[in-house]
C-alpha cells in the first residue's frame, strides 16, 4: 500500500512539474503579456542607456587579462545590452560571466554561435554533428533532443541566446561560408530539421536566432570579406530561400538574424546590405512575414556591411532598418553616440528604439535574468560533458550514416576473410581502422598520407594481392569539412582503381567532395560519414561490420551519380 502511494505521489509530482514546464509561455507569446519587471527597468533607463541596450560586444576567455578588462570597462561605462562569447573554455567563461554580470546595472543577455553546440566556440566541450550530417538524419526527434541538450549547456555557462540554427538552403555547392553548416539543399528538409533543433532549444528555455535571413545558401562570396549579391527575383526568394524562415516563424521562432547581402529584387539601393535595408528588415521580415521577435544583425564588423558604410554609419542605418540587436559593432561607444545624434536630428524616433529595448528586456526576463543568480563555478567541465550528451552524439552519427550504391559490397564482407584496411588522407592509425580491426581479426592496416606519391602507393598495392577483401576510409583531416578536400593525383587514381575491384569505401568528408573522385561511383558500397570525428568513424565501422543499418539520406546533390535523398 505504501509503495503504491509513493508511486502515485511521484506520478503526481512528475505531472505537476511537466505541466508547469508545458504551460510556460514561449517568448513570442510573452510579448502579449504585461510585465512589471520590463516596465520597471525600462522606465529607469535614460535615452543613451536605452540605445546602449541594442549593442552586444565581443567577449573571449583566451585573449588575456587586458582584453577581459576592456570588455568590463565597456559594460560598466556604456551599459550595453549584452555580449557575444567566442573562443575560450567553459570554466573560464563561467567565472568571467559572473564578473561581467556583477558589473552590469541591467543584466546582460549573453549569446554565442552554437550551431553544433558549445564546441563551435569553446574547447573541452561537446560538438554535435554539423548540420550537413544532421540533414541526412531521418529521425527528427534525435535533433530535438540535441536542442534540449544544447540548451542545458548554454544555460550552464550563463548564456541565454544561441545564434542558431542555420536554416539557409545550401543550393550552391561552391558556397564558401554556409555549405556544411546547412541542413542541405531541400527547403522542406531544411525547415523540418531546423524546426526540430529550434523547438528543442526553446523548450529547454534558450532563445534562438534563425540565420541568415533572407537566405545565404546560394552565394559564392563570403560576407565576412565582401558583399554578396543575390540577383534572384522576389518570387524565387519567396518560394525557396525564405521558405524555412516563414515556416519557423509560424512555429514560434524567438529570433532571426539578418545577413549582409545586396538583394536588388527586395531593395534596389546600390551596394546596400540587407541588414541596413528598412524594406527588408521592417517591410519584409516584420511586415510581410509577421515576425514579432528579436531581429539580430549579423556581425557589424564584417566587410560585407562596413565596406560601403564606414565610420559608424552602418550602425545608425541598422537601427533605422529595424534591427533590435546589433552585434559586434566596430566601435560601440561611437555607435551609441551616432545613434543619439540621429535621434536628435529626427532620423530615428525614440519610439522605434523603445520597441527594441522592450523586446530585449523581455528576452532577459523570459530567460530568468530578472533574478540575479551567480553561476556555480564548480564542476563546469563535467556538467557540460554529460554521459547522455555523449551518447546522443553517437546516436546522431549512427543515424546520419548514408549508404550509396547499395549493399552489394557489404554483403561480400566476412569477418573470417583476410582483410586490408586502408586509411587515405592521414599517416596515423585511425579510429576507423582500430574499430574494424577488432571485428576483422585477420586484418592488416595501411595508411597513406594525403600527399602520398606513386612509390608509397605502390608499396601498399603490392601487398594487396594476399588479401581477400579491402576496406578503404577516405579522411579529410582539416578542422572543418569544407569543399576543396585535396588528395594527390596518385591517390585519386588508387581510389578509382580500387572502386572497380570491389573495395568498400567510407568517406569522412563533406559529400560535395565526392565530385573530385571520378570513378568512385563504380564501387559496390560507399558509406558517406560526412566528417572526420571519432563518433563518425565508429558509426561507419559499425555499418561495414553489418551491425548498423544505415538509414541516412544524402542531403545535397553532388553530381549525376549522387543525388539528393540517395541512400539505402
Dump pLDDT digits (tens) for 248-270.
999 999 999 999 999 999 999 99
Dump pLDDT digits (tens) for 55-112.
999 999 999 999 999 999 999 999 999 999 999 999 999 999 999 999 999 999 999 9
Query: Pairing mode, if any, of strands 294-297 and 161-162?
Result: unpaired
Residue 14 pLDDT more than 80?
A: no
Residue 317 pLDDT more than 90?
A: yes
Closest CA to 184 of 467, 564, 501: 564
Least confident of 12-26, 135-149, 208-222, 244-258: 12-26
Query: Pairing mode, if any, of strands 55-59 and 109-112?
Result: unpaired
Backbone angles phi, psi at 40, to 5 degrees: -60, -50
Give me the half-sphere count of Cα atoms (radius 13 Å) on the Cβ side of residue 293.
28
Q: Predicted confidence band at 222 (pLDDT cuts at 50, 70, 90)?
A: confident
Dump pLDDT digits (tens) for 440-492.
999 999 999 999 999 999 999 999 999 999 999 999 999 999 999 999 999 99
The CATH H-level (homologous superfamily) assignment of domain 7-388 is: Glycoside hydrolase, family 3, N-terminal domain (3.20.20.300)
Residue 35 pLDDT more than 50?
A: yes
Dump pLDDT digits (tens) for 527-540.
999 999 999 999 99
Q: Predicted confidence band at 19 (pLDDT cuts at 50, 70, 90)?
A: very low
Helix (H) or strand (E) holding 91: helix 90-103
Peptide bond into 165 cis (omega under 30): yes
The pTM assigned to this predicted structure is 0.94
As a whole number of angstroms, the distance between CA 12 and CA 453 comes to: 68
Q: Predicted confidence band at 23 (pLDDT cuts at 50, 70, 90)?
A: low
Residue 122 pLDDT more than 80?
A: yes
Closest CA to 285 of 304, 307, 259, 312: 259
* Burial status of residue 302 (CB atoms within 10 A of its CB: 0-12, 13-18, 19 or more): buried
Residue 295 pLDDT more than 90?
A: yes
Residue 389 pLDDT more than 80?
A: yes
* Burial status of residue 34 (CB atoms within 10 A of its CB: 0-12, 13-18, 19 or more): exposed
Dump pLDDT digits (tens) for 149-163.
999 999 999 999 999
Give me the half-sphere count of Cα atoms (radius 13 Å) on the Cβ side of residue 421.
24
Residues 6+ positions from 1 with CB-CB distance below 8 Å: none
Residue 339 pLDDT more than 80?
A: yes
Query: Within 10 A of 164 (CB to CB), how many other CB atoms are there?
Result: 29
Write down the domain spans for the chain.
Answer: 7-388, 401-544
Say which CATH topology domain 401-544 has.
Rossmann fold (3.40.50)
Mean pLDDT across the chain: 94
pLDDT in the model for residue 177: 87
pLDDT in the model for residue 4: 47
C-beta separation of 170 from 178 below 8 A: yes
Dump pLDDT digits (tens) for 340-371.
999 999 999 999 999 999 999 999 999 999 99
Q: What is the largest CA-CA distance in the chain?
A: 83
Amino acid at each position: 500500500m505504501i509503495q503504491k502511494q509513493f508511486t502515485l505521489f511521484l506520478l503526481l509530482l512528475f505531472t505537476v512539474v511537466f505541466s508547469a514546464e508545458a504551460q510556460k509561455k514561449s517568448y513570442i507569446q510573452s510579448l502579449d503579456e504585461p510585465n512589471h519587471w520590463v516596465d520597471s527597468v525600462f522606465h529607469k533607463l535614460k535615452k543613451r542607456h536605452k540605445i546602449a541596450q541594442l549593442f552586444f560586444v565581443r567577449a573571449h576567455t583566451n585573449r588575456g587579462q587586458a582584453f577581459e578588462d576592456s570588455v568590463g570597462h565597456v559594460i560598466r561605462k556604456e551599459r550595453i545590452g549584452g555580449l557575444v562569447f567566442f573562443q575560450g573554455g567553459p570554466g573560464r567563461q563561467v567565472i568571467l560571466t559572473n564578473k561581467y554580470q556583477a558589473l552590469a546595472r541591467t543584466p546582460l543577455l549573453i549569446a554565442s554561435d552554437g550551431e553544433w553546440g558549445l564546441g563551435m566556440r569553446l574547447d573541452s566541450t561537446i560538438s554535435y554533428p554539423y548540420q550537413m550530417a544532421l540533414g541526412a538524419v531521418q529521425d527528427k526527434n534525435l535533433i530535438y533532443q540535441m536542442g534540449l541538450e544544447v540548451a542545458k549547456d548554454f544555460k550552464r555557462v550563463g548564456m541565454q541566446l544561441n545564434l542558431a540554427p542555420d536554416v539557409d538552403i545550401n543550393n550552391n555547392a561552391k558556397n564558401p561560408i554556409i555549405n556544411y553548416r546547412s541542413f542541405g539543399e531541400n527547403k522542406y528538409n531544411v525547415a523540418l530539421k531546423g524546426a526540430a533543433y529550434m523547438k528543442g532549444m526553446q523548450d529547454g528555455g534558450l532563445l534562438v536566432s534563425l540565420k541568415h535571413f533572407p537566405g545565404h545558401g546560394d552565394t559564392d562570396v563570403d560576407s565576412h570579406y565582401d558583399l554578396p549579391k543575390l540577383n534572384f527575383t522576389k518570387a524565387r526568394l519567396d518560394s525557396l530561400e525564405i521558405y524555412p524562415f516563414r515556416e519557423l516563424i509560424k512555429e514560434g521562432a524567438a529570433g532571426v538574424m539578418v545577413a549582409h547581402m545586396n538583394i536588388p529584387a527586395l531593395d534596389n539601393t546600390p551596394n546596400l546590405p540587407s541588414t541596413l535595408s528598412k524594406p527588408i528588415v521592417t517591410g519584409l521580415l516584420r511586415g510581410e512575414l509577421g515576425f514579432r521577435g528579436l531581429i539580430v544583425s549579423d556581425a557589424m564588423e564584417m566587410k560585407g556591411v562596413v565596406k560601403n558604410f564606414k565610420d559608424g554609419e552602418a550602425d545608425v542605418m541598422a537601427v533605422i532598418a529595424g534591427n533590435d540587436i546589433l552585434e559586434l559593432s566596430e566601435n560601440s561607444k561611437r555607435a551609441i553616440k551616432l545613434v543619439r545624434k540621429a535621434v536628435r536630428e529626427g532620423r530615428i524616433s525614440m519610439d522605434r528604439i523603445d520597441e527594441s529595448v522592450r523586446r530585449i528586456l523581455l528576452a532577459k526576463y523570459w530567460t530568468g535574468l530578472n533574478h540575479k543568480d551567480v553561476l556555480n563555478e564548480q564542476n563546469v567541465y563535467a556538467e557540460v560533458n554529460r554521459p547522455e550528451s555523449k551518447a546522443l552524439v553517437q546516436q546522431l552519427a549512427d543515424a546520419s550514416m548514408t549508404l550509396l550504391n547499395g549493399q552489394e559490397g557489404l554483403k561480400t564482407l566476412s569477418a573470417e576473410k583476410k582483410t586490408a584496411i586502408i586509411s587515405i588522407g592521414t599517416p596515423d592509425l585511425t579510429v576507423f581502422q582500430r574499430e574494424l580491426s577488432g571485428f576483422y581479426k585477420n586484418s592488416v592496416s595501411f595508411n597513406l598520407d594525403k600527399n602520398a606519391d606513386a612509390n608509397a602507393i605502390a608499396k601498399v598495392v603490392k601487398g594487396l594481392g594476399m588479401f581477400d577483401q579491402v576496406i578503404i576510409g577516405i579522411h579529410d583531416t582539416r578542422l572543418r569539412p569544407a569543399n576543396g578536400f585535396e588528395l594527390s593525383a596518385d591517390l585519386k587514381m588508387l581510389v578509382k582503381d580500387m572502386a572497380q575491384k570491389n573495395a568498400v569505401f567510407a568517406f569522412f568528408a563533406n559529400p560535395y567532395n565526392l565530385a573530385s573522385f571520378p570513378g568512385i561511383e563504380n564501387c559496390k558500397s560507399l558509406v558517406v560519414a560526412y566528417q572526420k570525428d571519432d563518433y563518425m568513424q565508429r558509426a561507419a565501422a559499425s555499418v561495414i561490420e553489418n551491425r548498423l543499418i544505415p538509414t541516412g539520406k544524402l542531403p545535397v546533390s553532388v553530381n549525376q551519380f549522387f543525388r539528393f535523398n540517395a541512400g539505402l
